[in-house]
Amino acid sequence: MSSLGHSPVVETLLRDIDTAVDGPDSSDICKRIKAVLEKTLTEHHDFLHEDFTRPVTAGYARHLLHRDPQNRYSIVMMVWDKGQATPIHDHDGHWCVECVYKGQIEVVSYDLSEECRDNCVRFVQQQRIVANIGGAGALIPPHEYHTIANPFDEKAVTMHVYAGEIESCHIFEPTDEPNLFRRQRKQLG
């Protein structure tokens, strides 16, 4: 858990997520967490310490809000300045529920259509959505390939609840060939 004290809203959120992660079915867990996040982030604003909403200049910021002592989940706040984005990436087999805390973001999902030679893959773009405050979505493997971007004029902050703690993932860098991407392992900090 963070060394920063948590507000009463965060303490309630953590208790609600503790309840939501009980059970073996990832789909049910994600539905329950999504409902908790949508309700909390729609009803309450500016309940996080400013350290969790501070951007960085070298890419988007990742701030650990909470690590469950039983390693059932972790909560990471991500801060997106204008123009910041991820490459296509996965969550290394972990489910995830993402919700907008401030601003708005663009999420594009992809289906892996082909495994190719030289550690390359082909993707087909599936869906593009713009999410506003309280907008949430779930990623459950094998449907976990996506990008997150902030093409808007104001900073965006998102809350991500992961199964356990994600220490690395795969990112997919474009090649010269259309829809062909090279898979690379990335350590997360």
pLDDT (tens digit, 9 = 90+) per residue, 56-83?
A: 888 899 999 999 999 999 999 999 999 9
**Nearby residues of 178 by Cβ (< 8 Å), 6 or more positions away:** none
- Cα(110)–Cα(128) distance, integer angstroms: 9
Prediction pTM value = 0.92
What residue ranges of the chain have pLDDT lower than 70? 1-5, 189
Residue 110 to residue 181: CA distance in whole angstroms: 12
Could you give the count of Cα atoms lying within 13 Å of 18 in the half-sphere of its Cβ?
11
